Structure 1
Amino acid sequence: MRVRIGHTPDADDAFMFYAIAEGKVTIEGVEVEHVVEDIERLNRMALRNELDVTAISAHAYAYTKGYAILRSGASFGLSYGPILVARHAISSIDELAYMRIAVPGKLTTAYLLLEMALRDYLQKDMDVAAKIVEMRFDEIEDAVLSSKVDAGLLIHEAQIAYRQGLHKLLDLGEWWSKVSNGLPLPLGIDVASLSLGEISSKISILLKQSIAYAYEHFDDAVDYAMRYSRGKDRGTIARFVRMYVNDLAMDMDEVGYNALKRLYSLASSRGIINEPKIILV
């Protein structure tokens, strides 16, 4: 059986999928086809049910049909997450209402968090989307520095190693900790098509085995992740991996499930999404 699995080239995903990609862990009778794409591209593919298994944003799951969430492979921030940056500091949060903001896609969890936070800080019914410019996540820093936009929402490694000349305006990990009473922040998840049946649980176990193998062979797995480092140094990549490939990546358990529930509940209460039914495998 051939299974199409989508994941991003980002350090945490590359690290987690290293053992699968290199054939270190396998499922008998299952051949894996890897589809490596930017997270927003994977989000859009999941909306069209083009992949059997894929990494997506937790936000995107609210718009999908026919997928279950795997217990393994999720990226949770532990009091940290995406950040909003600009070329100049601001004296008041109210200034954000007038800024054109670059985001890495409207289906990303980062964008959902930004929309919720801006509504809380500014006004409940403000049209956040009117100030938004979508672009690839790796183009955002340059867009801010060149004044194509006023501010940018940074994800992946850029959130911990952003370019000189940028100033942090808003830390969405800190904001989330306050509104969720300290729950971990669910950013990325892995989902499997319900049509896979019992294969889904086997793939969840495979991913858990892959993460365990990567930590047992940490240097080799980081070497693999460095193929997609986009100019970031090895220390930054290793730090980012340790931040997001944590215990909840191995198994989100009840803590991760409750964090997902809280994310969808808060977004639904603000009228942004319809709260989805969470199916865990």
Structure 2
Amino acid sequence: MEISVGHTPDSDDAFMFYGMFTGKVVSPDFTVKHVIEDIEKLNRKATNPELDVTAVSVHACAYIPGYTILRSGGSFGIRYGPIVTAKKQMTLDEIKKCKIAIPGKMTSAFLLLQLMIGKFDYVEMNFSDIPEAVRDGKVDAGLVIHETQLSYQQEGNIKIVDVGEWWDKETGGLPVPLGINVMKTSLGMDTIHKFDRYLQESIQYGLDNLDAALDYAMQYSRGKPRELIEKFVKMYVNNVTVNMGDKGEESIRRLFEMAKQKNLIPEFGLSIAIK
């Protein structure tokens, strides 16, 4: 069957899908049409289900009941995650009073920062525009994701908060739930499990063929050097990406429990593919 698969124009997503999209890993069950969009656009598309499979922020799952979370393809930080950057050091109280640029209201980064510091004044913009907005003083601080978590110094800014470090301490070491892949529940659990295994094989193929997968991923480097992209990919394509396991599933459920307690999300019913 032909299915549509959405992923972001980011090197870690490209790395995961390298085997699948280049035909190195094939499936007797699926032919894939891929759609590339920024994560916040994919989040919004998923609220009115257009794609059969799509990458989304974990936060977005509170608003997309028509999808089931796949066990493979997740981006989880291990004691690190989105960071807040600024031009100068600030205390936590000062950060709470800032106007902060965020990469989208449905991103997990935004939800995690709200859990950490409470509600704050923000402005939405494309994630790649945030470093410049911080550097030029258009905002007081910026919540940055993707490879800009690593390049902030070159962009003239400093790190003032690591949201992933906060989450790690708050939860006793659970991985930081950021992005996942979901599939339309209406396609049925048998089809979902088959595609989940297909994606898992693609991710493992990338890990087993690191240099070739990185070569493929560099088309989404946005001008960043290969060493930085390799570091970024290795941060967010890890064992929890191949299969989220019990810890990954627990971290997603914990995120939603904490968010619900603070009335940051509506009532939700998570559907995660069984093991």
Range into which the TM-score falls when normalised by the shorter chain: over 0.9
Query: How much has 1:174 moved relative to structure 2?
Result: 0.8
Query: How much has 1:275 moved relative to structure 2?
Result: 5.1
Equivalence map 1:1-281=2 (5 Å): 1-90=1-90, 92-119=91-118, 127-128=119-120, 131-164=121-154, 165-197=156-188, 198-274=190-266, 276-281=268-273
Of 156-165 and 179-188, more deviation after overlay is shown by 156-165
Query: How much has 1:12 moved relative to structure 2?
Result: 1.1
Q: 1:123 is matched with which residue?
A: none
Aligned counterparts of 1:275 and 1:253: Cα–Cα separation in 2: 25
Question: Residue 98 of structure 2 aligns to which amino acid in structure 1?
Answer: M
Query: How much has 1:230 moved relative to structure 2?
Result: 0.6
Tell me if the contact between 1:55 and 1:189 (Cα under 8 Å) persists in the aligned partners: yes
Aligned counterparts of 1:245 and 1:195: Cα–Cα separation in 2: 28
Question: Residue 173 of structure 2 aligns to which amino acid in structure 1?
Answer: G
Question: Residue 115 of structure 2 aligns to which amino acid in structure 1?
Answer: M
Aligned counterparts of 2:233 and 2:168: Cα–Cα separation in 1: 21
Change (3 A) 1:156 1:76: same
Moved beyond 2 Å, runs of 4+: 274-278
SS at match of 1:187: strand
Aligned counterparts of 1:240 and 1:167: Cα–Cα separation in 2: 18
Unmatched 5+ residue regions in structure 1?
Answer: 120-126
Change (3 A) 1:275 1:74: farther
SS at match of 1:62: helix
Tell me if the contact between 2:152 and 2:158 (Cα under 8 Å) persists in the aligned partners: no
Aligned counterparts of 2:198 and 2:29: Cα–Cα separation in 1: 13
Of 27-36 and 68-77, more deviation after overlay is shown by 27-36
Aligned counterparts of 2:252 and 2:96: Cα–Cα separation in 1: 28
Tell me if the contact between 1:83 and 1:154 (Cα under 8 Å) persists in the aligned partners: yes
Aligned counterparts of 2:85 and 2:177: Cα–Cα separation in 1: 21
Aligned counterparts of 1:30 and 1:183: Cα–Cα separation in 2: 33
Query: How much has 1:186 moved relative to structure 2?
Result: 0.8
Question: Residue 171 of structure 1 aligns to which amino acid in structure 2?
Answer: D
Query: How much has 1:150 moved relative to structure 2?
Result: 1.0
Question: How many pairs does the alignment contain?
Answer: 271
What is the alpha-carbon root mean square deviation over aligned residues?
Answer: 1.2
Q: 1:124 is matched with which residue?
A: none
Tell me if the contact between 1:67 and 1:191 (Cα under 8 Å) persists in the aligned partners: yes
SS at match of 2:255: helix
TM-score (norm 1): 0.94
Aligned counterparts of 1:109 and 1:207: Cα–Cα separation in 2: 22
Question: Residue 98 of structure 1 aligns to which amino acid in structure 2?
Answer: K
Aligned counterparts of 2:224 and 2:153: Cα–Cα separation in 1: 11
SS at match of 2:88: coil
Deviations 1:151-182 (A, max 9, x none): 10110111122143211111101110121111
